[in-house]
């Protein structure tokens, strides 16, 4: 058993951490200087260098303060982890890739806009007090600063700077008994940052990995667990199963499950695996698992906690919770079929649904 931790810092937070901040500070100074000089030139001001010397320090400091304020607004989202919807549509996109979800992108755009407006007002009111600029001139230069120096870097996906595939690829071909190598892989997969510890089941076949998570990990995504499973099966030669233990729940993926997605996982690249989960359905809807050659998606956006009948065989009623039954779909090659229709046509069996992320129960009629 080994305990490992892996923290992924959003790019906007990294910029505030030494020693990187030592590069950001002079960079901001240079950019602010260029914008000021351009503004002075546009206004055709005489003795512009004197005005520059009297204002650049304030402009620079105000800009950095606003950047910190914007980072705090983004960081605040990471403490809203009590809802799966917020986690998937706001927290994760803001920290990892704002362009992955509309809500995440809107939030980051609003923060950038707020910062731009603050840069304008603060500079207009305070940065040029010791110069002889009139109100119109102050306004023009402050607008330039607000538009050009707003923290657009907040929109840059952190995923571009974490080449996880390259880090993982070097571990390809390890064996399940290599505690150090397997631990390194687990620490680099997405769910690794929530891990408490892991266990290697190597006493007898089937060999597997059991990953235990911190008690406060309430937000988990089925597709993240499945993706991490595929990566583990791709890289570890003699692995037969992966089990994720989250609070009181357990999620189990074995060779059969993996082969239902990829006939030969070893022939796939890590980029192939990434591409599967970058498709439009995975980005737009809640993924609940794989059934035969189909992916199961819940296309609803809210959770109805009451149980609703999804299927009846005369003796039992099968009830689903926290999903809109009419909006459960099976997808294969961009072709959709309703789950209810698939059950009626015997395309899938009701027992198949118990193996997915659906909250489903079986009750006597």
pLDDT tens for the 365 residues of the chain, in order? 333 323 344 556 655 555 556 677 888 999 999 999 999 999 999 899 999 999 999 999 999 999 999 989 998 887 765 565 776 678 768 877 788 778 989 999 999 999 999 999 999 999 999 999 999 999 999 999 999 999 998 888 765 655 455 567 777 889 998 888 888 888 888 777 778 888 899 889 999 999 988 765 555 678 889 999 999 999 999 999 999 998 878 889 999 999 999 989 988 888 888 888 887 788 788 898 999 889 999 887 666 666 778 888 888 888 888 788 888 999 987 789 999 999 999 999 988 988 888 888 888 87
Catalogue the long-range contacts made by 268-274 (C-beta closer than 8 Å, 24 or more residues apart): 268/230, 268/234, 270/165, 270/168, 270/169, 270/231, 270/234, 271/165, 273/227, 273/230, 273/231, 273/234, 274/165
What are 140-189's pLDDT values in tens digits?
Answer: 999 999 999 999 988 887 656 554 555 677 778 899 988 888 888 888 88
CB atoms under 10 Å from CB of 225, counted, come to 20
Distance CA 77, CA 94 (A): 8
CB 24 within 8 A of CB 60: no
What is the pLDDT, as a whole number, of residue 161? Answer: 58
Per the document, the length of the chain is: 365
CB atoms under 10 Å from CB of 189, counted, come to 22
Distance CA 317, CA 310 (A): 8
Q: Quick check: helix, strand or coil at residue 97?
A: coil
Which residues is 321 bridged to in the sheet?
359
Share of the chain above pLDDT 90, in %: 41
What are 295-324's pLDDT values in tens digits?
Answer: 999 887 666 666 778 888 888 888 888 788
pTM for this predicted structure? 0.54
């Amino acid at each position: 058993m080994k305990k490992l931790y892996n923290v992924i810092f959003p790019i906007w937070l990294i910029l505030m951490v030494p020693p990187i901040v030592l590069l950001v500070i002079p960079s901001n100074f240079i950019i602010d200087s260029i914008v000021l000089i351009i503004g002075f030139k546009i206004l055709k001001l005489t003795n512009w260098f004197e005005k520059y010397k009297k204002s650049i320090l304030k402009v620079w400091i105000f800009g950095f303060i606003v950047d910190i304020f914007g980072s705090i607004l983004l960081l605040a989202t990471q403490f809203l982890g009590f809802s799966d919807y917020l986690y998937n549509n706001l927290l994760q996109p803001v920290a990892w890739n704002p362009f992955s979800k509309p809500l995440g992108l809107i939030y980051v755009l609003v923060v950038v806009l707020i910062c731009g407006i603050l840069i304008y007002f603060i500079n207009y009111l305070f940065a040029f007090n010791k110069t002889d600029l009139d109100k119109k001139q102050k306004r023009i230069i402050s607008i330039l600063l607000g538009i050009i120096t707003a923290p657009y870097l907040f929109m840059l996906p952190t995923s571009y700077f974490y080449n996880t595939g390259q880090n993982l690829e070097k571990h390809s071909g390890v064996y399940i008994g290599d505690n150090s190598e397997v631990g390194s892989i687990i620490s680099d997969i997405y769910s690794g940052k929530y891990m408490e510890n892991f266990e290697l089941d190597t006493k007898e076949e089937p060999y597997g990995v059991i990953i235990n998570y911190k008690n406060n990990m309430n937000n988990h995504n089925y597709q993240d667990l499945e993706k991490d499973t595929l990566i583990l099966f791709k890289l570890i030669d003699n692995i037969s199963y992966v089990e994720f233990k989250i609070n009181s729940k357990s999620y189990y993926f074995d060779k059969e499950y993996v082969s239902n997605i990829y006939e030969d996982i070893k022939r796939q690249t890590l980029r192939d695996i990434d591409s599967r989960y970058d498709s439009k359905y995975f980005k737009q809807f809640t993924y609940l698992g794989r059934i035969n050659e189909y992916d199961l998606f819940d296309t609803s956006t809210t959770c109805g906690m009451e149980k609703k009948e999804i299927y009846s065989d005369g003796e039992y009623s099968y009830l689903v919770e926290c999903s809109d039954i009419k909006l459960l779909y099976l997808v294969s090659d961009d072709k959709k079929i309703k789950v209810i229709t698939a059950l009626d046509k015997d395309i899938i069996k009701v027992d198949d649904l118990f193996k997915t992320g659906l909250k489903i129960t079986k009750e006597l009629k």
